[in-house]
């Protein structure tokens, strides 16, 4: 469950990124991550545990340094024992921004889930620290995480498996590489299990910046697909056999691009600050 925000304080930003964010020409997503993490005073911890590529952590370390972060530390975890080390916990306690790289989200949950590291990250976010991640690092941020599933546009019983995530919030379920890998069906299936959450499908090079006021703003070159299941009148999830399509009535969907917003509390979308890029 999300950590309680102390009286008089505000929760930190939550920043899921759909993967493949621009790292060369237009680094607007990573630049804004630094901005909401303290700007020139940003103290960032990069956690590359989801990836098995040794260069992943050092690449993001270089990127954040080039963008002007005051301090960047790469902190990898190879065993659950690592998650109990006092020095690591203290370093996380100093950070103003914590960033998870892409890879395999189940590697993150199996190594970090239920450990002091996971608790510290939830607590720090409740005290105002920004926590974000890309691809698998985006999926892990919420309480309900898509562990894996089938691609395709139709909701099909048994086509997705959920697992507990990091638990910064229980308001949404995230999927990434959304349009590029045709993942609408598995996001809809995840919502069919329990329509409480809002579904957030993130295209590549696209991020949702979710502020302390629970307002989501889109940044990047793609779109965020928001599926609001709050008014679902019927779902057949409980009566269909595995592998069969699911009937869902009353879904609401929004397609948001840079500058568009969605309030996770009121469930109202807005295009008042839409930014249209022309050639």
In angstroms, the CA 53 to CA 56 distance is 6
Is 31 an annotated catalytic residue? no
231: exposed, middle or buried (C-beta count within 10 Å: 0-12, 13-18, 19+)?
exposed
54 tagged catalytic: no
Phi, psi of 159 (to 5 degrees): -85, -5
Tell me the Ramachandran region of residue 213: left when phi exceeds 0, alpha when psi lies from -120 to 50, beta otherwise. alpha
> Exactly one of 177, 217, 219, 254 is catalytic; which is it?
177
What SS3 class is residue 72?
Answer: strand
As a whole number of angstroms, the distance between CA 183 and CA 146 comes to 11
Q: Which of 51, 135, 157, 159 is catalytic?
A: 135
**Active-site pick, 204, 217, 219, 254:** 204
Question: Active-site residue 177, yes or no?
Answer: yes
Phi-psi sector, 152: left (phi>0), alpha (psi -120 to 50), beta: left
Q: Which of 196, 189, 195 is nearest to 244 (CA)?
A: 189
Q: d(Cα 93, Cα 272) in Å, to the nearest integer?
A: 37
Identify any residues that bridge with 145 across adjacent strands, giving them in sequence order: 163
Q: Which residues are catalytic?
A: 135, 177, 204
């Amino acid at each position: 469950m999300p950590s309680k925000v102390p009286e008089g304080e505000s929760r930190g930003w939550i920043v899921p990124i759909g993967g493949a964010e621009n790292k060369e020409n237009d680094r607007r997503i990573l630049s804004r991550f630094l901005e909401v993490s303290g700007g020139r005073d940003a103290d960032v911890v990069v956690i590359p545990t989801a990836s098995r590529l040794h260069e992943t952590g050092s690449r993001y370390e270089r990127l954040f340094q080039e963008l002007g972060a005051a301090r960047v530390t790469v902190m990898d975890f190879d065993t659950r024992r690592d998650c109990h080390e006092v020095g690591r916990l203290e370093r996380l306690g100093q950070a103003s921004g914590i960033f998870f790289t892409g890879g395999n989200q189940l590697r993150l949950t199996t190594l970090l889930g239920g450990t002091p590291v996971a608790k510290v990250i939830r607590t720090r976010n409740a005290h105002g620290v920004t926590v974000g991640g890309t691809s698998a690092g985006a999926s892990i941020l919420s309480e309900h995480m898509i562990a894996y599933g089938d691609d395709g546009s139709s909701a099909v019983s048994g086509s997705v498996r959920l697992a507990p995530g990091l638990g910064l919030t229980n308001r949404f379920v995230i999927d990434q590489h959304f349009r590029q890998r045709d993942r609408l069906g598995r996001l809809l299936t995840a919502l069919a299990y329990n329509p409480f959450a809002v579904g957030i499908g993130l295209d590549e090079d696209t991020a949702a910046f979710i502020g302390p006021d629970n307002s989501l703003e889109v940044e990047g070159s793609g779109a965020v697909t928001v599926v609001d299941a709050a008014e679902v009148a019927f779902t057949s999830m409980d009566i269909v056999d595995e592998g069969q399509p699911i009937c869902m009535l009353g879904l609401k969907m929004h397609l948001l691009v840079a500058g568009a917003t969605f309030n996770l509390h009121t469930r109202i979308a807005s295009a008042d600050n839409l930014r249209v890029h022309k050639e």
